[in-house]
Each structure stands twice: as C-alpha cells, then as structure tokens.
Amino acid sequence: MKILVILIIACLAGFFGFKACNNDMSITENMKAVGQDSLNKVKDTAGSAIAGLGDFFSFKLPDGTELNIPSNGIENNLVKFLGGSDGISKDKWFNFDRITFNTGSSTLSAESSEQVANMAKILKAFGSVTLKIGGYTDNTGSAEGNLNLSQKRADAVKNAIVAMGIDSSRITTEGYGSAHAVATNDTEEGRKQNRRIAINVTSK
C-alpha cells in the first residue's frame, strides 16, 4: 500500500514538474515573440514586400539609446549609412517597412508608432542629419487625388516625428503620387509595394 502511495506521489510530481517546465518555455517563447508582434501585424497588411526584414535584435545608437529593430529594416540600413563613408545622393532612398495608413486616408495606423519613435531616436542620436520624406501611391484613382494623398501622408509622418521632439526644419516632404513606381500596378501585390513612404538623407 505504501509503495502504491509513493508511486502515485511520484507520478503527480513528475506531471506537475513537466507542466511547469512547459509553462516556463511558453513564457520564454512569448517574450521572444513580443518584438515581432508589430512586424507581423504590418506584414498582414502590407504583404510579402516586407517579408524579408529578418529577426529583431538590440542595437545601441551613438548616444546610448537602445533600439529593438529588424536586421534588414530601414532603421538598421539607415544607421549603417549615416555611420559609413558613403556620400549623400538624391537617388538613394530608404523605404519605411512598418509604416501603414488607414485605407484611403493620411491617418497613421497604430502599428506605425514604433517605427516613428525609432526614427525620432535616430535623428536625436545623429543631430546634424536632415531628411526628405517622400510619399507615393499606386495608380488607382485620379492623378491629382493620388498626388494630394501622397503629400498628406508624407506630412503625417513628418508631423509624427516632429511631435517626438525633432525640429521641423530638419525634415522636408514631397508627395509624388503614383510616379516612381517600384512594382507593377497590374497586381494587388505590386500596388501594395507602390503605396509607400521613403526617406532621402539630405545632409549628414
């Protein structure tokens, strides 16, 4: 009888120990997933054009500010450029990869806030940098309407960055409408890629 009781206790201890271990593993995996959450939401919206951003990693800016950014995202590529020896060029643009808007409007989505904040932190760390923000649309609708919308979206991104403490004189904007397409407008995937916001470094 005593042996049976001991066996039952041992089985219960093993079961709860295994469950606790699994819970710990689940918590760890959930913590790893948090950094990817906003990226996944934007991927659902923007499609495969941003599917290759890579894993998030921790990165320190020159002023010690820490960013949690994807390895192939705009933040990492921009910081490499700012810290490198390559000169500025009006033809070198960096596409935002986690900036989206409510459909047909210039209102930034909630998922855009993280990348806006990161851009403000980068500009604070590189105090001499100035930027131009370009807005682009697909070719759906009228050319005039697209030009107007693209300008409003570029302005919206600038205003969001300025609201985080960046001097407005450091950022200019221009809406290009459906000009300078990077993909075909004949498919939905191509149109998603053409609806974008990009930045050009005008001084560093």
Give tens-digit pLDDT for 86-105. 999 999 999 999 999 988 89
Q: What is the mean pLDDT of residues 134-139?
A: 96
Amino acid type, 162: V
For residue 197, give the H/E element and its range: strand 196-203
Domain that holds residue 192: 2-203
| Cα 5 from Cα 8, distance rounded (Å) | 5
CATH code for the domain of 197 = 3.30.1330.60
Q: How many CB atoms lie within 10 A of CB 156?
A: 22
Q: Which pLDDT score, from 0 to 100, does residue 52 have?
A: 84
CA distance 107 to 149: 11
pLDDT (0 to 100) of residue 202 = 98
* 90, two tokens: 């009006």
pLDDT of residue 16: 42
Between 31 and 202, where is the model more confident?
A: 202
Question: How many C-beta atoms surround the C-beta of residue 41 within 10 A?
Answer: 15
The number of domains in the chain is 1
| Structural contact between residues 172 and 134, judged by C-beta atoms closer than 8 angstroms | no
% of the chain residues with pLDDT over 70: 75
**23-62 pLDDT, tens per residue?**
433 333 333 344 445 555 444 434 444 568 999 999 999 9
8 Å CB contact between 99 and 45? no
